[in-house]
Chains A and B, each alone.
Chain A
Amino acid sequence: EAGVVQSPRYKIIEKKQPVAFWCNPISGHNTLYWYLQNLGQGPELLIRYENEEAVDDSQLPKDRFSAERLKGVDSTLKIQPAELGDSAVYLCASSPDSISRTDTQYFGPGTRLTVL
């Protein structure tokens, strides 16, 4: 069974440019998460989707970050415009169903963003 797929794996852009990350969760997983991982830190949740609905986006900086999961499967996270402080690893995770609150989240390999 394929795991969580993310692309690109690496991205280097100049500040003020837009950037987008793509995630395809494990087949059949209804819940999708985007996390931000700064160097030397644990991941921090940005947004959580239940199917196509964003049910927790309280940590998403909405002035420059946006996300969508239009058909309830794959998802895109966008930053526009990017700032130097956005340099980090962006992780996507999925789980079968978050309602039980005991399901395991499975992570993709992440996208390492460098903003110059």
Chain B
Amino acid sequence: AQSVAQPEDQVNVAEGNPLTVKCTYSVSGNPYLFWYVQYPNRGLQFLLKYITGDNLVKGSYGFEAEFNKSQTSFHLKKPSALVSDSALYFCAVRESYNTDKLIFGTGTRLQVFP
């Protein structure tokens, strides 16, 4: 079965420093991977996705993610964190067969300190 793991419940980083939010996946077949961000009392906002092609995917708000097939990882990164990036981040994988539902990780709370 398809799954994603977000090994860190929380990531703390100082404003201006680079940030990484980790995600590993387990799929059979081609992985279709997504990152979403959730601010308090709001729905999920799409950040970026990997379907095929370049392993470095650029998304919204300066975020990017690196797809690594050998390590089955899809880590979210940003060169310089902002306090406003503080939120809950979800990695998700879409099943490439059977159904089209998204399988989400448990989420990682990012806290950026000024």
By a beta-carbon cutoff of 8 Å, the part of chain A in contact with chain B is 4, 6, 31, 33, 40-45, 48, 56, 58, 91, 93, 98, 101-102, 104-110, 112
Instruction: Evaluate contact between A108 and B92: CB separation under 8 angstroms.
Output: no
Instruction: Evaluate contact between B107 and A56: CB separation under 8 angstroms.
Output: no
Instruction: Evaluate contact between B104 and A44: CB separation under 8 angstroms.
Output: yes
Q: Judge whether B67 is part of the interface by a CB distance below 8 angstroms.
A: no
| Nearest chain A residue, comparing its CB with the CB of B109 | A40
Instruction: Evaluate contact between A40 and B106: CB separation under 8 angstroms.
Output: yes
Give Cα distance in the complex from A40 to B108, angstroms.
10
Instruction: Evaluate contact between A101 and B32: CB separation under 8 angstroms.
Output: yes
Given contacts A42-B107, A107-B44, A109-B42, whether A102 and B101 have CB atoms under 8 Å apart is no
Instruction: Evaluate contact between B101 and A33: CB separation under 8 angstroms.
Output: yes
Q: Judge whether B51 is part of the interface by a CB distance below 8 angstroms.
A: yes
Instruction: Evaluate contact between A43 and B100: CB separation under 8 angstroms.
Output: no
A11 to chain B, nearest CB (A): 14
| Nearest chain A residue, comparing its CB with the CB of B92 | A42
Given contacts A108-B43, A109-B42, whether A43 and B104 have CB atoms under 8 Å apart is yes
Q: Which residues of B contact A98 (CB under 8 A)?
A: 100
Q: Which residues of A contact B17 (CB under 8 A)?
A: none
Instruction: Evaluate contact between A48 and B106: CB separation under 8 angstroms.
Output: no
Given contacts A91-B44, A101-B96, whether A43 and B102 have CB atoms under 8 Å apart is yes
Contact among A42, A93, A106 with B106 in the assembled complex (CB-CB below 8 Å):
A42
Contact among A42, A58, A106 with B90 in the assembled complex (CB-CB below 8 Å):
A42
Give Cα distance in the complex from A40 to B109, angstroms.
10
Instruction: Evaluate contact between A48 and B99: CB separation under 8 angstroms.
Output: yes
Instruction: Evaluate contact between A102 and B46: CB separation under 8 angstroms.
Output: no
